[in-house]
Structure formats: C-alpha cells, structure tokens
C-alpha cells in the first residue's frame, strides 16, 4: 500500500517535471502563475508553473521540492581589466559591473583578472564567504581564503554576506582565473556589490574607480 503511494507520487512528480519543461520551452512568459500563486515567483521562472490551474497546488509544491535539482545554473563571466586596458589609467574596471540574474538560481561565476597588482583590504576580506561550499578556485585550486597581501580585488555583496577575494595575475599568466558559485535570493531585488581592495585613487585608494558605479562597484539585478 505504502509502496504504491510512493510510486504514484513519483510518477506524478515526473510527469509534472516533464510538462514543466515543456511549458518552459514553449512559453517565454516567465511569470505565468503569479496571479494564482504569488509567492514562488522564482520557481515560476524555472518553468515550475504550468498554466493548467487544476494542477497548481501540486505543481507549486513539486517545483519547490525540486528547485534544488531542476533549476538550471547560469554562467557569468567577469573580466577585471586594468586602467591601461580600459583607457583610463589608474581606473581598473569590472566588465560587466552590472548584470541581471535569475532569482533562486545557482550562478557559476568565472573571473578573469588581468590586473597584476595587489591592493590593501580591510581585515577579513581575504577570506571567502557566502559561496557554495564556502570556497573558490584560484587557477583551478580550491581555497577558502588567500593571503591578505595577495588580494587585488574582491567581489563583495554585503546583503548576502558574500566575499570573494581575487589575486593579481602572475607574470606567467595572461590573467588569474577565479571561479565560484553562489545562489541568488529567491525574491527579486538589487544586489549592490563593491570591491573592498583599495585599488582606486586618492590617498586611501578608495576614490576614483572604487567610488564609481560601473568600475569597482555595481548592481546585480535579481529578477
Ligand atoms: Cu578593486
């Protein structure tokens, strides 16, 4: 009796997952179910919601339960270019500094740092925080922090308690590669990020690029 119930619910979940995928590819409107169920908007963008209202309750709960495994990660590649490269000497720059990310989704970030000089960070900002597993990879090697003297830039999102230290490139490489993953919040919002390594201008190093949107700070819009 119990076995039958489990098998049946697995079957239902499988069918829902299949139909959800079908709905996702055939319907580009990302929010078909907001009127029926306003809470899981993030799930709606994953294709968890079907337009069939009779299946709404089950669809919503199955999408919730499966979001960890069925939500498709997205990739984000970010370059850190030097002032020489971006035509504004002394102004290193993240490209892009502003971007849009889906809610409730794992983002696989690849940072290519062309900058070869370290900068001073406040205590603690050499440690990794808020990523999946609490780690990053630097040129393929998994670490949970880098030496403070080896930090060139950071990607720091205070509202998520996320901090990713980024080392300068070595003379042997074209750029340093840092990779990490993090999960976006479930609800749409703007995530302000800031580099915390004093790589700008002025006596503190916190002016110029550090204080300017689009250079060492920006906004990730979660929707
Ligand atoms: Cu910086």
Which residue ranges form the domains of the chain, and what is each CATH number?
A: 2-70 (no CATH), 74-222 (2.60.40.420)
Distance 113 CA to ligand 1 centre (A): 10
Structure tokens at 93: 């720059």
Digit-coded pLDDT (tens) for 77-118: 999 999 999 999 999 999 999 999 999 999 999 999 999 999
* Cα-to-centroid distance, 184 and ligand 1 (Å): 22
- Whole-number pLDDT of residue 70: 57
- Given CA atoms 11, 17, 19, 22 in this order, what sign does their dihedral have? negative
Question: Rounded to the nearest whole angstrom, what is the distance from the C-alpha of residue 15 to the centroid of ligand 1?
Answer: 48
Distance 122 CA to ligand 1 centre (A): 13
Q: Are the CB atoms for 175 and 167 separated by under 8 Å?
A: no
pLDDT of residue 71: 76
State in Å: Cα 109 to ligand 1 middle. Answer: 17
Structure tokens belonging to residue 156: 């720091």
Chain segment 165-191, per-residue pLDDT in tens: 999 999 999 999 999 999 999 999 999
Dihedral of CA atoms 127, 131, 132, 136 in degrees, nearest 10, equals -50
Q: 190 or 54: whose pLDDT is higher?
A: 190
CA of 169 to the centre of ligand 1 (A): 13
- Mark the residues whose beta carbon lies below 5 A from ion ligand 1: 153, 195, 197, 199, 216
Contact call for residues 146 and 138 (beta carbons, < 8 A): yes
What is the C-alpha separation between 211 and 215, in angstroms, rounded? 8
Q: What is the distance in A from the centroid of ligand 1 to the CA of 215?
A: 8
């Amino acid at each position: 009796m119990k076995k039958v119930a489990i098998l049946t619910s697995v079957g239902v979940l499988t069918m829902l997952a299949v139909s959800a995928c079908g709905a996702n590819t055939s319907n580009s409107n990302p929010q078909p179910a907001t009127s029926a169920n306003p809470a899981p908007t993030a799930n709606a963008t994953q294709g968890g919601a079907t337009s069939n209202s009779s299946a709404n309750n089950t669809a919503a709960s199955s999408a919730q339960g499966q979001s960890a495994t069925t939500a498709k990660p997205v990739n984000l590649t970010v370059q850190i270019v030097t002032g020489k490269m971006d035509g504004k000497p002394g102004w290193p720059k993240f490209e892009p500094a502003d971007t849009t990310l889906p809610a409730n989704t794992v983002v696989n970030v690849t940072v290519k740092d062309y900058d070869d000089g370290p900068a001073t960070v406040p205590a603690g900002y050499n440690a990794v925080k808020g990523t999946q597993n609490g780690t990053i990879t630097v040129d393929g090697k998994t670490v949970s922090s880098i030496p403070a003297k080896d930090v060139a830039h950071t990607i720091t999102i205070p509202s998520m308690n996320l901090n990713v230290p980024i080392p300068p490139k070595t003379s042997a490489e074209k750029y340093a590669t840092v990779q990490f993953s993090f999960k976006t919040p479930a609800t749409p919002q703007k995530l302000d990020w800031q580099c915390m390594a004093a790589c700008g201008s002025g006596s503190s190093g916190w002016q110029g690029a550090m204080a300017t949107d689009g250079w060492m700070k920006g906004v990730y819009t979660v929707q």
